[in-house]
Structure 1
Amino acid sequence: MGFSKRLSKAAALGVIAAGAAALLTATPAQAASHCHFSNTTGRYSCSGSNSVRGPNDVIGSKLFTGYDYSGDSLTIWVDRPCPKNNYVDYTIDLGSAMRKKVTSVQAWSTCWTWLYFEDGSRDGPYQGNDPDVGTWANDRAVTVGLS
Structure 2
Amino acid sequence: MLGTVAAAVTALLTAVPAQAAQRCDFSTTTGRYSCSGSGSVRNPSDVIGAKLFTGLDYSGDSLTIWVPRPCPKNDTVDHWVSLGNDMRNKVSSVQAWSSCWVWLYFADGQREGPFKGNEPDVGSWANDRAVTVGLS
TM-score where L is the length of structure 1 = 0.88
Equivalence for 1:39: 28
Whichever residue aligns with residue 63 of structure 1, its letter is L
1:126 deviates by 0.2
Residue 52, structure 1, aligned to residue 57, structure 2? no
- Counting only pairs closer than 5 Å after superposition, residues 87-106 of structure 1 correspond to structure 2 as 87-106=76-95
Partner of residue 72, structure 1 = 61
What secondary structure sits across from 1:95 in the alignment?
coil
Distance in 2, matches of 1:77 and 1:13, equals 52
Tell me which amino acid in the other structure corresponds to 2:85.
S
Q: CA deviation at 1:13?
A: 5.5
| 1:110 equivalent among 77, 96, 99 | 99
Instruction: State the alpha-carbon separation in 1 of the partners of residues 121 and 26 from structure 2.
Output: 22
1:18 aligns to what SS in structure 2?
helix
Q: Which amino acid aligns with 2:115?
A: Y
Task: String of CA shifts for 1:9-49, please: whole Å, max 9, x gaps.
Answer: x3x752x2233112442321x21100000011111111111
Counterpart for residue 17 of structure 1: 6
Deviation at 1:55, TM superposition (A): 1.7
Unmatched runs of 5 consecutive residues or more in structure 1 = 1-9
Q: Matches of 1:86 and 1:49 in 2, distance apart?
A: 29
> Whole-Å Cα distance in 2 between the matches of residues 112 and 23 of structure 1?
45
| Residue of 65, 74, 87 corresponding to 1:85 | 74
Q: Where in structure 1 do 4 or more consecutive aligned residues deviate above 3 Å?
A: none
Please state whether the residue corresponding to 1:71 is helix, strand or coil.
Answer: coil
Aligned residues: 135
How far apart are the structure 2 equivalents of 1:32 and 1:60? 21
- What per-residue deviation string (whole Å, max 9, x for no partner) do you get for residues 85-144 of structure 1? 000000000000000000000000000000000000100000000000000000000000
Question: Separation in 2 of the partners of 1:80 and 1:71?
Answer: 27
Q: Secondary structure at the match of 1:19?
A: helix
Q: Distance in 2 between matches of 1:57 and 1:146?
A: 14
Calculate percent identity across the aligned residue pairs.
Answer: 71
Q: Distance in 2 between matches of 1:23 and 1:142?
A: 37
Distance 2:123 2:12 in 1: 33
1:139 corresponds, among 103, 118, 128, to 128
